């Protein structure tokens, strides 16, 4: 940090001076997804670093970010707090090669099915049965 002196107010400067191609690529994917209103699932520290770059460039992207989990890496929690994302779960995962996102995506898909396909008490006539 002392050598490269990134300007923390400039996401592109931070990315250029201390980021990597993978972080830049992920940030770009997140920005493109947000522009198309497609949600993205944030996994661990590296994807959170990319999310921070994307968020710094376009804060409204937060509406399309889903934090799958809270990693044991301290920086991960700091980034999620800064962006304002609440993780879906905390299983003490670390460096799991996307396992948090894999679990998170399934949880998101199950949630969508519950919201869109699950019958209400009225639709399932549960209320009527209980009156009989």
Residues carrying an active site annotation: 97
Task: Cite the beta strand spans of 35-127 per DSSP E.
Answer: 40-42, 65-67
If DSSP codes are grouped into helix, strand and coil, which group holds residue 69? strand
Answer yes or no: are the C-beta atoms of 8 and 19 closer than 8 Å.
no
Helices (H), 5-64: 11-18, 21-35, 45-57
CB atoms within 10 A of CB 70: 21
């Amino acid at each position: 940090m002392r050598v490269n002196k990134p300007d923390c107010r400039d996401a592109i400067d931070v990315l250029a001076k201390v980021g990597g191609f993978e972080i830049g690529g992920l940030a770009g994917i997140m920005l493109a997804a947000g522009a198309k209103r497609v949600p993205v699932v944030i996994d661990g520290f590296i994807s959170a670093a990319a999310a921070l770059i994307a968020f710094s460039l376009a804060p409204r992207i937060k509406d399309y970010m889903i934090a799958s989990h809270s990693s044991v890496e301290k920086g991960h929690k700091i980034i999620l707090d800064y962006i304002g994302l609440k993780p879906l779960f905390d299983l003490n995962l670390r460096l799991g090669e996307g396992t948090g996102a894999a679990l998170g995506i399934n949880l998101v898909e199950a949630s969508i099915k519950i919201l869109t396909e699950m019958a209400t008490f009225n639709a399932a006539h549960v209320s009527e049965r209980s009156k009989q």
